[in-house]
Amino acid sequence: MARLEFSLREISAPEFQPATVVDMIGSIDPDTLEIFESLMDRLVEEGKVRLAFDLSRLKYINSTGMGMMVQYVDTLMEEGGGLVLMNMQPKVLLVVEMLGLQELFQIVSGEAEALKALSGGEVAPASIEVRLDEDFKKKPAPARSASEEAAANLKSTIGCPNCRARLRAPTSGFYRCPRCRAALEVDAEGQVLAYPEAVGNITEMTIPTDDIYLASASQIVALAAETTGLAEAEADAIAAATEGCLQLLAREAINGASATTRLHLLVRPENKKLTVRIYCGGSALADASAVNRFKANVDKLNYVVATDGNLITLEKKTK
């Protein structure tokens, strides 16, 4: 059975208001949501309204847990406090970014930044620390002087040239971007070269809400599905589900709310599997179960309410 454990500790600094750090260990999922809810209620009742969640040992959080966290942010802010997230696992941070929740949560790198953020100060957003990739071999690194070695061991924030993710590289060397899987070569000065992962035909597009564009997008999904080895019927099924989800979001989430609001589509074909992600701004669906009508077409369908928007993920595998 999944478990969630936590411990509390107080942190302070002369120039900032004190805060409570909540160290999370385990997972926030259907088996532990009650534990998480009880913890949050207890903290609010005790007046601990400036919270920093240390997520360095949180392995997983599901969409319901994330939604519950969003609700408590409002409660904490009403009480004059707030919530920041720190020391997030790269995979969790990427999910939060993908959902757009970084616009709601302040995501910081450590306790000093947490105190400053909870006191109303401006802090730089946290980035994802990547590890040296020993599997990527290009050529032996040239010998470096002592000054170059010192510079190489300074933590530096870099940007992936392929997908623009913010990353922290502790030394020069070869890395793997956790977002797009490109191999990155970082030199001692922090210059970066990217070697994209050999996964062809990934499609990203921004789509207007007109039906003709939505239908055209579904045709691209069907084509991508066939390139993965899915049978024609399987390709048609995920294409139909994609078009249905696009239309649902266009009509019920966006619905003319903004002339600049668009649907964002990512299609990722892999060996005998196709993943489709759809994101849009606008309001959350009034009836989240409306998405379920497309579940029969695919192997996996997940709907998550993001900040001022929605994210639908579909997945189809070959039989």
20 neighbors 4 (Cβ within 8 angstroms): no
Distance CA 186, CA 319 (A): 41
Q: What angle do CA 57, 63, 66 make, to 5 degrees?
A: 60
Look-up of token digits 């899987």: 181
Q: What angle do CA 94, 98, 104 make, to 5 degrees?
A: 95
In a structure prediction context, what are the per-residue pLDDT tens digits for the chain, which is 319 residues long?
A: 458 899 999 999 888 899 999 999 988 888 888 899 899 999 999 999 999 999 988 888 776 787 788 788 878 888 888 999 988 877 677 667 666 666 667 888 889 989 988 988 877 666 666 666 655 544 444 555 555 544 444 457 777 787 667 777 777 887 877 666 677 888 877 788 877 665 556 787 888 888 888 888 999 999 899 888 898 899 999 999 999 999 999 888 887 555 546 788 888 888 788 999 888 877 888 888 899 999 999 999 988 875 557 888 899 998 7
Q: For each of the domains in the chain, give its residue range(s) and CATH number, in order of start.
A: 4-118 (3.30.750.24), 129-195 (no CATH), 203-317 (3.30.565.10)
